[in-house]
């Protein structure tokens, strides 16, 4: 086997904890009220928290039994994200605390008898090692060569240390691998992005259009609840998806579009709405810029033209456009969330924004509302040094409209090229499993190989930890404080997360790890508290509350400062764009040399015998982070490959048969996946749930179960506007015999 400086180390298991006997997820499903007759509630205690199993951040309560064992998690009734109910994943969060495979103590990579292994270390040793290396590398290459990749609450603490050290390269995969293009597309149009939670007033809507967004499988709690209310009251749902998703099964119209052609459908809808005079004239006239240009631009985009591209029949395009217009302005063309599909994603999302604009749904009841949040004060700290180079220098002259750092951009810029010395030498990776998260894994590994130091902060022996020089075990969200949740919503609110149990093993919370690291780097002034509870209490007192009060109520709802959730009749509104108007014709895109109006372009098609690799979510899992969770893997422990009966017949595939997959670049999946023959997928595509096929044996439940879509996503279609990584132009074929390359168990 080839030995590189950075061999992938399988972290050895360090003792085993106990496994919860009852599954809280099953409790949730069979007993949604959350009552459990077997436990005497009088002696149970409850602690406020907000969930970290996904990024909807529902606020709830963690209950412990008399003996201190964590028992169950429920939603907080006062919380707008959860409305008192957790989704199955959130309820199963206790499994994360109980998982015996958890990381237990800091680890440092060392060489023993010519072999690389992880040595257990004390916190002091591990943090000294990191601080010394950071200082040395900073001295040689500049402090800007440190980058942070983060997803989740710890990011605020590590971000502070990185900025104090002198770098602003702080990136999250939730931008260039997720919702970046929609933010850029909406900012270009309305001068304002979407953010999270999406400010869609689904419960008051009369018509919801889902383009790909598979609500119901995408389990973002409050959104799913509003979606089911809309269905109960017989609101119109139009789902555009090459796959018959759960949402499609609840819809009045399912448009099984040919993959990669949505922009043609969107332009045809705009054509119909304008040419049949169905748009909101008063709104368009008062608030928008460039209507005449738009009208001229879409004249060629007839439903007949779109039919040839999308396979959606012209009468269906017309009928659905009329449905939307009939509901206007209480209509939502949902912007989706994971939108990095084909590389022209910002333009597709521009078309979504334009469609919403001409239907007058932006800032209207039943459309999009203007959310409000609260900003808590921070304790005073010294000014951050100004970095000599910024994350923008990672891709000079490219991706000009990226308003946040690109995880993929920093990764690419880490790989040295002959004419350019590399920019990044140290990565701190917190709560993101980069080798499963960034497309083109070979590229990710090449970047990691070029590093002087990679520190990974995680709770699990996730795949990325196997490449680290130092692994720092964070305790789970159930065992720690974090910053207050302050996300925007219909009304502002704050939510507290506090520990319901002591951290297990030798694990620590992110705030503590970051503070200790700051001290060791001589940057202690930037963390002006001894314990995070001091900071929280200080912040809360500034808004006339206190930590003591928040411990009792968990969530505090505040009044909106202004009554401006929706635009009122005839109100004058200035939008944050160059023209002060909603820009149907984008002057900011034009300035940067991009199409000011979205144009359809064709994308690559699969070669003979290959199928487009499509992927998505399952209701009981979040990416790779839940795959080993004892409670959630009980509900689903492997993914399957959806294959159309026509394709199955051609290949003589049977239900349940195991196949390996090979992609267009001859990459073969590490493991096999079971075939699921279903009419619910088009013949030209196959589908799997993301997160499975994990290759680290220490994930005792997840190892080798199913296939990891990321392995097969070697082709990236970059969005030239903002650097999003389009991941859906990859194609696979079936291998029915076990390939020699399979990872050996
Ligand atoms: N249970 C669960 N819920 C989650 C998450 C999770 O991990 N687990 N993750 C959360 C996060 S971070 C995100 S970003 C969201 C993602 O959730 P969404 O934004 O809803 O996801 P997408 O990946 O955009 O959509 C997946 C759907 O797009 C369809 N699709 C594929 N190709 C095309 C195409 O060319 N055209 C059209 N119209 N449709 C296509 C697929 O068939 C699939 O049904 O989910 C969130 N919710
Ligand atoms: N192929 C493919 N790639 C994708 C996607 C896809 O659908 N398919 N989806 C994209 C999208 S939409 C997104 S948002 C990203 C998500 O990307 P990531 O956020 O990287 O997703 P996860 O796989 O959940 O990795 C999270 C890591 O955090 C660790 N973790 C969990 N809780 C904690 C904690 O409390 N503290 C710390 N320190 N670590 C913790 C987990 O063990 C895990 O290793 O992936 C993107 N990449
Ligand atoms: S939607 Fe589910 S997993 Fe996500 S934060 Fe809410 S309860 Fe947790
Ligand atoms: Mo995402």
Alpha helices in 652-742 (DSSP H): 709-712
**What's the distance, Cα to Cα, between the start and end of the chain in Å?**
16
**Of 543, 549, 548, 541, residue with least CA distance to 561:** 543
Q: How far is the CA of 88 from the centre of ligand 3 (A)?
A: 8
From-to residues of CATH 3.40.228.10 in the chain: 196-371+566-591
**Of 100, 722, 713, 96, residue with least CA distance to 403:** 722
Average pLDDT of the chain, as a whole number: 93
pLDDT for residue 14 is more than 70: no
| CA–CA separation, 301 and 298 (whole Å) | 5
Q: How far is the CA of 467 from the centre of ligand 4 (A)?
A: 23
Q: How far is the CA of 477 from the centre of ligand 3 (A)?
A: 13
**Of 710, 544, 699, residue with least CA distance to 628:** 699
What's the order of all strands across the beta sheet hosting 236-240? 253-255, 236-240, 207-211, 331-333
Q: How far is the CA of 433 from the centre of ligand 2 (A)?
A: 5
Ligand 2: residue whose CA is nearest its atom 41: 625
> Would you state the pLDDT for residue 462?
98
pLDDT for residue 377 is more than 90: yes
Which of the four pLDDT bands, split at 50, 70 and 90, describes residue 31?
A: very low
Q: Is 625 in the pocket of ligand 1 (CB under 6 A)?
A: no
Angular region, 652: left φ>0, alpha ψ -120 to 50, beta rest? left
Lowest average pLDDT, out of 35-39, 415-419, 545-549, goes to 35-39
pLDDT for residue 427 is more than 50: yes
Three-state DSSP at 613 gives strand
pLDDT for residue 18 is more than 60: no
> Would you state the pLDDT for residue 43?
78
571 Cβ partners below 8 Å, 6+ apart?
none
pLDDT for residue 37 is more than 70: no
Q: Is 338 in the pocket of ligand 2 (CB under 6 A)?
A: yes
Atom of ligand 3 nearest to the CA of 91: 7
3-state secondary structure 400-457: CCCCCECHHHHHHHHCCECCECCCCCEEEEECCCHHHHCCCHHHHHHHHHCCCEEEEE
Pairing of strands 453-458, 731-735: unpaired
Q: How far is the CA of 214 from the centre of ligand 4 (A)?
A: 13
Ligand 1: residue whose CA is nearest its atom 28: 212
Lowest average pLDDT, out of 51-60, 355-364, 389-398, 640-649, goes to 389-398
Adjacent-strand bridge partners of 413: none
How big is the chain by its Cα radius of gyration, in Å?
25
**Is the CATH number 2.40.40.20 carried by domain 611-735?**
yes
Lowest average pLDDT, out of 81-90, 280-289, 386-395, 411-420, goes to 411-420
> Would you state the pLDDT for residue 196?
96
> Would you state the pLDDT for residue 422?
67
> Would you state the pLDDT for residue 10?
42
- Whether 248 contacts 239, CB under 8 Å: yes
pLDDT for residue 36 is more than 50: no
Mean pLDDT confidence for 631-638: 96
pLDDT for residue 2 is more than 50: no
**Comparing 469 with 40, which gets the higher pLDDT?**
469
- Whether 57 contacts 486, CB under 8 Å: no
pLDDT for residue 425 is more than 50: yes
Predicted TM-score of the model (pTM):
0.95
For 152-175, the pLDDT digits (tens) are 999 999 999 999 999 999 999 999
Q: Is 517 in the pocket of ligand 3 (CB under 6 A)?
A: no
Atom of ligand 1 nearest to the CA of 215: 20
| CA–CA separation, 72 and 49 (whole Å) | 12
Ligand nearest to the CA of 689: 2
Alpha helices in 148-297 (DSSP H): 155-165, 173-174, 180-190, 221-232, 246-249, 262-275, 281-287, 291-297
Q: How many other β-carbons are positioned within 10 Å of the β-carbon of residue 650?
A: 12
For 194-237, the pLDDT digits (tens) are 999 999 999 999 999 999 999 999 999 999 999 999 999 999 99
**Of 449, 253, 399, 337, residue with least CA distance to 716:** 399
**Is the CATH number 3.40.50.300 carried by domain 196-371+566-591?**
no
Q: Is 364 in the pocket of ligand 3 (CB under 6 A)?
A: no
Name the percent of the chain lying above pLDDT 70. 93
For 316-325, the pLDDT digits (tens) are 999 999 999 9
**Of 530, 478, 510, residue with least CA distance to 53:** 478
> Would you state the pLDDT for residue 420?
66
Atom of ligand 1 nearest to the CA of 342: 35
Atom of ligand 1 nearest to the CA of 245: 44
Mean pLDDT confidence for 6-33: 36
Which of the four pLDDT bands, split at 50, 70 and 90, describes residue 19?
A: very low
Q: How far is the CA of 622 from the centre of ligand 3 (A)?
A: 9
Mean pLDDT confidence for 528-554: 98
From-to residues of CATH 2.40.40.20 in the chain: 611-735
Burial of 282 (0-12, 13-18, 19+ CB in 10 A): exposed
Cα diameter, the chain: 77
Q: How far is the CA of 624 from the centre of ligand 4 (A)?
A: 12
Mean pLDDT confidence for 259-274: 98
Which of the four pLDDT bands, split at 50, 70 and 90, describes residue 85?
A: very high
Q: Is 213 in the pocket of ligand 1 (CB under 6 A)?
A: yes
| CA–CA separation, 745 and 742 (whole Å) | 9
Mean pLDDT confidence for 704-726: 98
> Would you state the pLDDT for residue 376?
97
For residue 223, the 8-state DSSP code is H
- Whether 43 contacts 79, CB under 8 Å: no
Mean pLDDT confidence for 384-390: 95
Most informative mutation of 52, 90, 617, 682 for ligand 1 (most atoms within 8 A of CB): 617
Which of the four pLDDT bands, split at 50, 70 and 90, describes residue 12?
A: very low
Q: Which two tokens stand for residue 326?
A: 């009939």
Q: Which two tokens stand for residue 662?
A: 């090979």
Q: How far is the CA of 296 from the centre of ligand 2 (A)?
A: 43
| CA–CA separation, 94 and 504 (whole Å) | 13
Residue 689 has φ and ψ, to the nearest 5°, of: -85, 135
pLDDT for residue 28 is more than 80: no
Please spell the DSSP secondary structure of 48-76, one letter per residue.
EEE--SSTT--EEEEEE-TTS-EEEEEE-
Q: Which two tokens stand for residue 716?
A: 């990236």
Q: Is 220 in the pocket of ligand 3 (CB under 6 A)?
A: yes
Pairing of strands 555-557, 493-495: antiparallel
């Amino acid at each position: 086997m080839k030995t590189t400086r950075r061999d992938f180390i399988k972290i050895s298991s360090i003792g085993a904890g106990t496994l919860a006997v009852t599954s809280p997820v099953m409790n949730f499903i069979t007993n949604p009220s959350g009552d459990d007759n077997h436990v005497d509630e009088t002696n149970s205690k409850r602690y406020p928290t907000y969930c970290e199993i996904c990024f909807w951040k529902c606020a709830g309560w963690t209950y412990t039994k008399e003996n201190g064992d964590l028992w169950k998690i429920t939603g907080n009734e006062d919380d707008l994200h959860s409305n008192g109910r957790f989704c199955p994943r959130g309820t199963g969060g206790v499994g994360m605390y109980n998982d015996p495979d958890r990381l237990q103590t800091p680890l440092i990579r060392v060489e023993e008898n010519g072999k690389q292994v992880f040595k257990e270390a004390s916190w002091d040793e591990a943090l000294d090692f990191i601080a010394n290396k950071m200082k040395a590398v900073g001295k040689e290459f500049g402090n800007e060569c440190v980058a942070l990749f983060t997803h989740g609450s710890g990011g605020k603490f590590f971000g502070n240390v990185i900025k104090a050290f002198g770098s602003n390269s702080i990136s999250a995969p939730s931008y260039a691998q997720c919702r970046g293009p929609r933010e850029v597309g909406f900012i270009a149009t309305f001068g304002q992005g979407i953010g999270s939670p999406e400010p869609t007033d689904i419960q008051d809507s009369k018509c919801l259009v889902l383009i790909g967004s598979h609500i119901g499988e995408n389990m973002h709690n409050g959104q799913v609840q509003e979606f089911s209310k809309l269905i109960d009251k017989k609101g119109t749902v139009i789902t555009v998806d090459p796959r018959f998703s759960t949402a499609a099964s609840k819809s009045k119209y399912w448009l099984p579009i040919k993959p990669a052609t949505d922009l043609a459908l969107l332009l045809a809808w705009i054509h119909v709405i304008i040419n049949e005079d169905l748009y909101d004239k008063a709104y368009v006239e008062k608030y928008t810029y460039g209507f005449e240009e738009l009208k001229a631009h879409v004249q060629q985009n007839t439903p007949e033209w779109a039919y040839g591209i999308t396979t959606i029949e012209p009468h269906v395009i017309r009928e659905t456009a009329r449905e939307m217009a009939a509901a206007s302005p209480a209509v939502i063309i949902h912007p989706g969330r994971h939108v990095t599909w084909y590389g022209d994603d910002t333009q597709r999302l521009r078309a979504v924004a334009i469609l919403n604009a001409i239907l007058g749904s932006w800032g209207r009841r039943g459309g999009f509302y203007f959310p409000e949040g609260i900003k808590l004060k921070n304790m005073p700290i010294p000014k951050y040094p100004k970095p000599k180079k910024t994350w923008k220098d990672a891709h000079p002259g490219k991706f000009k409209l990226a308003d946040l750092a690109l995880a993929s951009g920093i990764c690419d810029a880490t790989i040295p090229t002959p004419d350019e010395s590399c920019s990044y030498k140290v990565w701190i990776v917190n709560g993101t499993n980069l080798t499963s998260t960034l497309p083109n894994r070979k590229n990710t590994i090449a970047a990691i190989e070029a590093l002087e130091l990679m520190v990974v902060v995680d709770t699990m022996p996730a795949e990325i930890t196997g490449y680290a020089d130092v692994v720092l075990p964070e305790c789970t969200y159930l065992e720690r404080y974090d910053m207050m949740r302050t996300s925007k919503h219909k009304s502002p609110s704050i939510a507290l997360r506090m520990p319901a149990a002591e951290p297990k093993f030798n694990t620590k919370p992110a705030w503590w790890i970051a503070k200790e690291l700051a001290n060791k780097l001589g940057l202690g002034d930037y963390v002006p508290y001894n314990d995070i509870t001091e900071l929280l209490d200080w912040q809360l007192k500034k808004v006339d509350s206190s930590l003591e009060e928040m411990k009792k109520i968990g969530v505090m709802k505040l009044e909106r400062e202004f009554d401006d959730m929706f635009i009122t009749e005839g109100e004058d509104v200035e939008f944050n764009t160059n023209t002060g108007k909603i820009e149907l014709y984008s002057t900011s895109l034009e300035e940067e040399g991009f199409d000011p109006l979205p144009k359809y372009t064709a994308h690559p098609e699969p070669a003979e015998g290959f199928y487009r690799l499509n992927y998505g979510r399952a209701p009981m899992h979040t990416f790779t982070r839940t795959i080993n969770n004892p409670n959630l893997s009980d509900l689903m422990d492997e993914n399957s490959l959806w294959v159309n009966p026509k394709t199955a017949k051609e290949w003589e595939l049977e239900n349940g048969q195991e196949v390996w997959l090979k992609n267009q670049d001859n990459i073969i999946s590490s493991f096999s996946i079971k075939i699921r023959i279903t009419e619910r997928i088009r013949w030209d595509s196959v589908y799997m749930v993301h997160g499975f096929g994990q290759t680290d044996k220490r994930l005792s439940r997840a190892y080798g179960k199913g296939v990891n879509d990321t392995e097969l996503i070697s082709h990236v279609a970059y969005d030239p506007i903002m650097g999003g990584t389009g991941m859906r132009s990859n194609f696979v074929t079936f291998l029915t015999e076990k390939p020699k390359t399979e990872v050996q168990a």
